[in-house]
Amino acid sequence: MLDKGYEPHEVERKWYTCWEKQDLFRAKDKDERPAFSIVIPPPNVTGVLHMGHALNNTMQDILCRYKRLKGFNVLWMPGTDHAGIATQNVVERKLAQEDNDRHQLGREKFIEAVWQWRSEYGDAIINQLKRLGASCDWSRERFTMDEGLSEAVRTVFVKLYEKGLIYRGLYITNWCPRCRTALSELEVEHEEIDGHLYHIRYPFADGKGELVIATTRPETMLGDTAVAIHPEDERYADLKAQSVILPLMDRKIPIIKDSYVSREFGTGALKVTPAHDPNDFEIGKRHKLSSIKIINDAGCMTPEAGRFAKLDRFECREQVVKALKSGGYLIKVTNRKHGVGHCYRCKSIVEPNLSQQWFVKAKALAEPAIKAVKEGKTRIIPESWSKTYFDWMNNIRDWCISRQIWWGHRIPAWTCESCQELTVAMQTPSQCSACGHKMLIQETDVLDTWFSSALWPFSTMGWPEQTELLRTFYPTSVLVTGFDILFFWVARMMMMGIHFMGEIPFKDVYVHALVRDEHGHKMSKSKGNVIDPLDIIDTYGTDAFRYTLAAFAAQGRDIKMSKDRVDGYRHFINKLWNAARFSLMHLETGYEKIEAGNLSLPDRWILARLKKTIQKVETALEQYRFNEAASEAYQFVWHEFCDWYVEAAKPALYGKTEAAAANAAKQTLWTVLHDILIMLHPFAPFVTEEIWDKLPGAEGFILNAGFPAPQRYVDDQSILDNAEKQMELIMGAIAGIRNIRGEMNIAPSATLEAVFFSANSEQRRIASDYQDLIVNMARLTSLTVTDKIPASKTNATTIVSGATLLVELKGVIDFQCEINRLEKEVIKLTKELTGLSKKLNNDSFLSNAPANIVENVREKQNKLLEKKDKLTTTLERVRSMS
RNA sequence: GGGCGGAUAGCUCAGUUGGGAGAGCACCGGCCUUACAAGCCGGGGGUCACAGGUUCAAGCCCUGUUCCGCCUACCA
């Protein structure tokens, strides 16, 4: 017998170990079964499992387990990415604790230290995914720095370079002074900050008058090489002066005219700092201005900043403002909100910085990627995200791929010391391709981590080799991901996949929402509102957690997570456990065969409901409607199977009926439980495997059990046809009696007699066939079925499907209470009826609405009228007696 | 500035060809009924944000408004 309550921890450990040992997650390189594949969004190797991972991977696991049950050859490709900046930061912090740093160590030793770190801590997140139940094919786990994937990276780089799609150049990029590297525009998080707008006087060089400029970053003025005004600005039409004197630096700089300048902003005069602002850089190029770099890579002022040299950039701002003030140059300071970029890794304020970087020309690659989605070769789900995808792709900018760090794929480019020629090659070249000189220096930069992640769907499958795996599983079936990396990753995989494989990387992209805290705020360490998924798993069990995630994962809406919510689904898992516990007490063997002739109404009913539920769950999962699948299953298991079927089957199971009926009940119970377990397995893998293990006649692992086919229960499906309608009558009768009990405050222990009165012989037949069922479930002493209205006056009445149920309340009836109860019901009916007759009295409704709708309304009206009629009569009778 | 999403029961949310307003939790009342008190039975509760429009019919379609999120953008 099962324990009284479900205890997840030991069960989870046991089964995961077992699944892995039995190698059940392994995909076949080639197989007759249809292929289904997902590549995992590789978590950072430094990562720890957070709610986003938990949701993302739960969904993937649900799909993978479901597809395995459906008979697919499933590949869920796992792995991690090397997270260049993040990992380097982590290892550098560790070194700092040892009073060391990477420069002391040197590049080679540092890389060794990172690998060392990876071998010690790098599989933390993988182990956490296993606790979540993830059924990845771990035998194929990949890492973006693996030799194979590194070769893919080099191949892609060289090919793109040869095609002219990668170039190197001196540009303004986003620079993180803390990480000391360039970032792509995506790696910059913009945040509105309360800043100031400084209005500064720039005197004309000839001493007569001045221009006033406004800036939020006064320290950059030290690098100004011009002041710009709009060519058609009338205020400056008569301007004679050619140049101004840059305050504090006493440098003469020209006044130039450029239509970029907005006439509406401030005085219409713009200071130009080509080395520290992307727009100014463009202006500088147009006007051939010189660039003066006044902030270095560490965020400190260079010697070009004169007396401000060596100051930190923030300190410098204060000093510059002070100096401007005392020099009489500062006119005013106003408050101003403005967007400031922060490094997405370390949150430092980024500095636009002039430097030599490598770029991917994105436009050409983006075009086919746009087309693929437009033509529906790749579907983005929910569809609304495709707009975001198109917007970004259509306005795509070149992608800065070089990073000035050490941990990552080193750019395979060499510069000749003699002729400066650049050689890009797969292997270290022995000599310069131009002059043959042997002194070549390799580029020190590494590639953006996303560059290697962009190849993930094919590099993990062995590309550039043409492997069997690629033939079987590329394009992958679906990519499951959060919208936060739609640009970073999805878009780039699309570009790279199409370019190098000649085919889209995935047929579907399912974009899911974010997990937030219970108040709808983004979880973050600084807010202290982070809920650790492993905490939840420890407290409530993995299955409860997964079910919660699935149940709340409605498309397009963020999930608010709290422990209380998981608790609700823990109850559900426990309910399932106890339903199984009960069932197993009565099942001695497997019951593959159902003898249809012996099935009772509840048997037939639950089988009909099971069939429908399984179909609904299937349909929902095929459409990525996880919440719908989860709640359909939940509703069925708890409120149909447990609440009704199990209760209804008890007399048979306890041997109070003839053997044939008892056996039919057991066959049904076994079948329904069997299929429930399979149906729930994708959502709750552990508890279902555990119960499966204990279920007589259940073979092997549930993981491979095969999804129930809709036709499997009975040969003659028509046996199930009327079951639902007939059962409604029985359930309605029971509910009606229970309602009388509840409403009239009759103790559950009080014994009651009831009469089922109907003019319809079919109804009387069903009622008398299942008399015992009604007696049992409504806790009656007896039920009389009759076609004559009984004479007793001391009863409470309810109407169900046109039949009248009278509950004998001799001595206990409270007439006023019964009047209230009936009145309430009549009022409700009257309300509904006015709505209906309004429709039916409307000629345009009758002539315009489809016939079946009109018929439905009419039918309903008749039913309600009849019911109201009967209740009114009853009400009058009770009134006359009180 | 541009774009997207949201507003439905006290709370969190479902509601896909426009025709029945629903679930879970919370709440109220009653139950240790031999699978489950992590449970069972019964009950109350909604002008579907606001204003118009289309339609025989609108939570759902259209227009506008308000409030709240998020993404995106080089006006210093």
pLDDT tens across A124-159, in order? 999 999 999 999 999 999 999 999 999 999 999 999
B19 C1' – A857 CA distance, angstroms?
9
Distance between CA A740 and CA A780 in Å, rounded? Answer: 12
- Cβ contact A827 with chain B strand, < 7 A: no
pLDDT surpassing 90 at residue A501: yes
Residue A744 CA to B2 C1' — how many Å?
62
Cα separations in angstroms, A601 against A588, A593, A711, A802 = 23, 18, 19, 20
Check if residue A278 sits with its Cβ under 7 angstroms from strand B: yes
Residue burial A27-51, b: 16+ Cβ < 10 Å; e: rest: bebeeeeebbbbbbbbbbbbbebbb
Residues of A 841-860 whose CB lies less than 7 Å from any atom of strand B: 842, 844-845, 848-850, 853, 856-857
Query: Does nucleic acid strand B have an atom less than 7 angstroms from the CB of A312?
Result: no
User: Which residue has the closest alpha carbon to B37 C1'?
Assistant: A571
| Single-letter amino acid, residue A109 | K
Nucleotide nearest to A748 (CA to C1'): B31
- The reply to whether A231 has its C-beta less than 7 Å from any atom of strand B is no
pLDDT confidence bin for A836, thresholds 50/70/90? confident
Rounded CA separation A45/A144 (Å): 10
Interatomic separation, CA of residue A490 and C1' of nucleotide B48, rounded (Å):
37
List bases in chain B with any atom under 7 Å of a protein Cβ.
3-6, 12-16, 19-21, 23-25, 29-31, 33, 35-44, 55-57, 69-76
CB burial string A210-239: b at 16+ within 10 A, e below: bbbbbbebbbbbbbbbbbbbbeebeebeee
DSSP letter at A639?
I
pLDDT at residue A857 is higher than 80 = yes
A186 touches strand B (CB under 7 A): yes
Cβ-proximal residues to A93 (8 Å cutoff; 6+ apart), any chain: none
ipTM above 0.85, yes or no: yes
Phi, psi angle pair for A625, to nearest 5°: -95, 80
pLDDT, residue A524, reads: 75
Instruction: Kindly report the three-state secondary structure assignment for every residue of A434-498.
Output: CCCCCCEEECCCEECHHHHHCCHHHHCCCCCCCCHHHHHHCCEEEEEEEHHHHHHHHHHHHHHHH
Residues 741-800 of A with CB under 7 A from strand B: 741-743, 745, 747-748
CA atoms of A227 and A448, how far apart (whole Å): 36
Tokens 């550039």, residue located: A464
Nucleotide nearest to A654 (CA to C1'): B34
The pLDDT of A596-600, averaged and rounded, is: 90
Protein-to-nucleotide distance from the CA of A433 to the C1' of B50, whole angstroms: 72
C-alpha A306, offset from chain centre? 52
Q: What is the mean pLDDT of residues A749-766?
A: 91
Closest-approach nucleotide to residue A572, Cα vs C1': B38
Q: Where does the pLDDT of residue A339 fall: very low under 50, low under 70, confident under 90, or very high at 90 and above?
A: confident
Spacing of A646 CA from B33 C1' in Å? 14
Strand B proximal to A739 Cβ, under 7 A: yes
> Tens digit of pLDDT for each residue in A872-882?
888 888 888 77
Quick one: pLDDT at residue A420? 87
Residues A377-418 pLDDT 10s: 999 998 888 888 998 999 888 999 999 999 999 999 999 988
Q: What average pLDDT is seen over chain A? A: 90
d(CA A805, CA A859): 22
pLDDT, residue A484, reads: 85
The alpha carbon torsion through A828, A832, A835, A836 (nearest 10 deg) reads -150
Q: Which of residues 507-536 of A touch strand B (CB under 7 A)?
A: 520, 522
A561/B4 CA-to-C1' distance in Å: 23
Tell me: the pLDDT tens digits for A428-482?
888 888 888 888 999 999 999 999 999 999 999 999 999 999 999 999 999 999 8
Q: What pLDDT does residue A648 have?
A: 95
Q: Which residue, among A211, A218, A180, A198, has the nearest Cα to A294 in the 3D structure?
A: A218
Q: How far is the CA of A295 from the C1' of B76 (A)?
A: 19
Token digits of residue A8: 């997840």
CB A619 under 7 Å to nucleic chain B: no
What is the percent of chain A with per-residue pLDDT over 90, rounded to a whole number?
58
CB atoms within 10 A of CB A494: 27
Distances, alpha carbon A314 to alpha carbons A201, A217, A301, in Å:
21, 10, 10
d(CA A269, CA A264): 10
Residue A616: CB less than 7 A from any atom in strand B: no
| Phi, psi for A270 (deg, rounded to 5) | -120, 130
Which of chain A's residues 113-172 bind strand B, using a 7 Å CB cutoff?
A: none
Taking the CA of residue A665 and the C1' sugar atom of nucleotide B20, their distance in angstroms comes to 34
Determine if strand B comes within 7 Å of the CB of A581.
yes
Whether the link from the prior residue into A382 is cis, omega within 30° of 0, is yes
Query: Is omega for the bond preceding A203 within 30 degrees of 0, making it cis?
Result: no
CB A831 within 7 Å, strand B: no
A6 closest-nt by C1' vs CA: B38
The band of A795, judged by pLDDT with boundaries at 50, 70 and 90, is confident
Average pLDDT value for residue range A847-866: 90
* Chain segment A566-597, per-residue pLDDT in tens: 999 999 999 999 999 999 999 988 887 888 88
- Check residues 195 to 214 of chain A and report those whose beta carbon is under 7 Å from nucleic acid strand B: 213-214
A811 touches strand B (CB under 7 A): no
Q: Are strands A210-215 and A243-246 parallel, antiparallel or unpaired?
A: unpaired
Give the number of residues written for chain A. 882
Question: Could you tell me the two tokens for A872?
Answer: 């009114």
- Is the distance from CB of A464 to CB of A151 less than 8 angstroms? yes
Distance (Å, whole) CA A14 – CA A256: 75
The separation between the first and the last C-alpha atoms of chain A, rounded to the nearest angstrom, is 55
Smallest CA–C1' distance to B56, residue: A845
Residue A772's pLDDT is: 92
pLDDT of residue A751: 79
Distance from CA(A624) to C1'(B16), angstroms, rounded: 13
Per-residue pLDDT, averaged over A725-748, amounts to: 90
User: Mutual orientation of helices A723-743 and A601-622 as an angle, nearest 10°?
Assistant: 100
pLDDT at position A413: 94
Which nucleotide across the nucleic acid strands is nearest to A195, CA versus C1'? Answer: B76
Q: How distant is C1' of B7 from CA of A382, in Å?
A: 21
d(CA A793, CA A817): 15
- Residue A832, nucleotide of least CA–C1' distance: B20
Position A154 scores a pLDDT of 96
**Average of pLDDT values for A239-258?**
88
Residues 6+ apart with CB under 8 A from A765: none
**Stated pTM of the model:** 0.93
Please count the helices (runs of H) and the strands (runs of E) in chain A. Answer: 29, 29
Confidence of residue A114 (pLDDT cuts 50, 70, 90): very high
Asked if the model's pLDDT at residue A546 lies above 80, the reply is yes
User: 10 Å Cβ neighbour count for A522?
Assistant: 11
pLDDT number for residue A461: 97
Q: How far is the CA of A553 from the C1' of B58 (A)?
A: 27
- Helices A771-778 and A761-769: crossing angle in degrees, nearest 10, is 60
Tokens 């046109």, located at residue: A802
pLDDT at position A549, please?
A: 93
CA to C1' distance (Å), from A192 to B1: 15
Q: Is the dihedral of CA A581, A583, A584, A585 positive or negative?
A: positive
Phi-psi region of A268 (alpha: psi -120 to 50; beta: other; left: phi over 0): left
More confident residue, A207 or A839: A839
> Within a 10 A sphere around the Cβ of A190, how many other Cβ atoms?
12
Q: Calculate ∠ Cα A122-A128-A132, nearest 5°.
A: 155
Q: Which of A161-165, A331-335, A729-733 has the lowest mean pLDDT?
A: A331-335
Q: How high is the pLDDT of residue A383? A: 87
Residues 398-437 of A with CB under 7 A from strand B: none
Quick one: which residue's CA is nearest to B24's C1'? A568
